[in-house]
A and B are shown apart, each in its own frame.
Chain A
């Protein structure tokens, strides 16, 4: 066997390798890109789902925005208070005041059973389109039931039930607010988990008209407002509005509501 040839090959490759290695070593020092270590740290603790709820295209750009001081530490609704604390530690700032976990809530109980169709809708089965077209549903404020919200949810937290209403799995909900933006009838809202009762109706119509349109609508009878022991309910435009600061969650309003429009929330 020709050892000379083997030595030559090993030597030449070794020298070449050494040359390239030193070139790379030099380049890595000379052309190093300075990256904010804070950005990297923040990115590591972000959820990494790239949902865009913070207003940035993804988690990496949100991390960069926080590191640059462009956005606040509490803009990620998915991570919530825990994450905000973590980011606050990295950024060396005081943690933001209590960020209660919020989840999406559907403020409508007018499904197929409670409402009826005034006319037959024969178009693209999408709430946004149906809302622009004819007003086929008896309640002009209520859920259209085509599930735009379920389709837009990245976390599979919304399913349309048999009654044609969206059901929200509060454990899966990350409060990214995409469904709130998507709903053309504005019936989805973000509610803090401590809020114990909700008026599940958005109709501003007078009681008589609500009664015709839906079995479970708020008819503006003011019974709940009168019976509330802490005066937490106000009537605004024929609708009971609850002040959650004052509300003690006693559930009297739920019991007195003649149309079951008041509902106790369950988180």
Chain B
């Protein structure tokens, strides 16, 4: 049996016992731009753009029409299946258009009266609510995983008869630049713990864990302090390594369990959620608040990088302006972090439920595309791959259109963390090829 790598990481004067998974990489973190800046509510947007397919699964169906008046928190999109999520109006106003795009349908709402969600209700006692009720609240509020993948949260806690032993909250935040989870844990620690308890209750789990990388010692201390009375909740310091916050990597680090190939954490009795999701669950239970806003980090080459709580659908143009505009000439604008985020070609794109940050890289930071050189068989990608795959072999199989080979080498287990491309000294676009390979395998499976 493999032992968990237990290391001692030195942080200041104290030595902390940390856990981690095997392999992975150490990119530059650049978190000091925003990690000391408190979460602030962003200015309310004048217009929001809501995508009906901003979660994983089947897209929501619009239940409003152009010209309708909606109030803050009104449902505008209804979930269309089990793996799907509701969508709510994130500002009060009038629906100006429902537009069909090539890959999604968008609802546009205009007008804002500076309305905030009422939060005066007292905290509800979790013992008075049943697990079924919590699931229903989560589903109704349209809560999805706020870590980035936007997987509907009610699906994760619908255990379907399977036994769940542990709920893990993901506070690793291994993506460089992003600090919003860090600030959430620090400033909303009690909400995080309450949300964790609610998720544990709805999934029927006895133990709760929160994994936090040790570059956020203040958050670890704060969570320890708040959860002192709860003996079944453990705060786990994790080594600073990418992708520590990957679901499977987190489970391996904390519980030393491996999710089977092609399986889900639920198969081994584990549910993993982001800390932001836990806060959203708390607010849904206590204030009946649907997922109308989320925290995100606006960082990089902007004049005043900040952690903001923004309404879903806010155009990124507004947020960049609020943070003082571009610093120098922008080279790339990325939604999410630098490793897994997606580059944008327009500033009118609205923030979606899965957007954990807006990263602006200046023109000098962006390198031109370099033609890949031949693979020198150094195996750095293999040493770095957290899923223990062979990226170089998979890329070659994808180039040669060998679908059977791709399946044999488990291409679908790739978590698309980008570590292989990051470390490759020959500039080979490993992840791009692997994605093509994944698409090929998925297309073949759909056919059969």
Contacts and interface: CB of A to CB of B under 8 A. Distances in A.
Interface residues of A, number: 18
B408 interface: no
A123 B100 contact: no
A124 B429 CA distance: 7
Interface stretch (B215-223, B251-259, B339-347): B339-347
Contact of B100 (A119, A125, A204): A204
Contacts of B367: 122
Interface string B100-125: 11100000000000000000000000
A122 B368 contact: yes
A237 B99 CA distance: 12
Contact of B101 (A132, A136, A140): A140
B76 to A, nearest CB: 22
Nearest to B330: A119
A203 B429 CA distance: 30
A42 to B, nearest CB: 25
Interface string A188-211: 000000000000000010000000
Q: Is the interface of B mostly helix, strand, loop or mixed?
A: loop
B346 A126 contact: no
Nearest to B429: A124
A129 B435 contact: yes
Interface residues of B, number: 18
A231 interface: no
B412 interface: no
Interface string A115-154: 0001100111110110011111000110000000000000
A141 B432 contact: no
B366 interface: yes
Contacts of A204: 100, 102
Nearest to A136: B345
Interface string B238-280: 0000000000000000000000000000000000000000000
Given A122-B368, A204-B100, A204-B102, A134 B344 contact: yes
A83 B339 CA distance: 52
A129 B345 contact: no
Question: Looking at B344, B345, B429, B436, which has the most chain A CB atoms within 10 Å of its CB?
Answer: B345
Contacts of B100: 204, 237
Contacts of A122: 366-369
Contacts of A119: 343-346
A119 B436 CA distance: 23
A136 B343 CA distance: 9
B42 interface: no
Contact of A133 (B342, B368, B433): B342
Contacts of A237: 100
Contacts of A141: 102
Nearest to B368: A122
A135 B104 CA distance: 13
Nearest to A122: B369
Contact of B432 (A118, A126, A134, A135): A126
A245 B242 CA distance: 59
B33 interface: no
B439 interface: yes
Nearest to B344: A134
Contacts of B433: 124
Contact of B343 (A125, A128, A134): A134
Interface string B309-346: 00000000000000000000000000000000011111
Interface of A: 118-119, 122-126, 128-129, 132-136, 140-141, 204, 237
Interface of B: 100-102, 342-346, 366-369, 429, 432-433, 435-436, 439
16 contacts: A119-B343, A119-B344, A122-B368, A122-B369, A123-B432, A124-B432, A125-B369, A126-B432, A126-B436, A128-B439, A129-B429, A132-B435, A135-B345, A135-B346, A136-B345, A141-B102
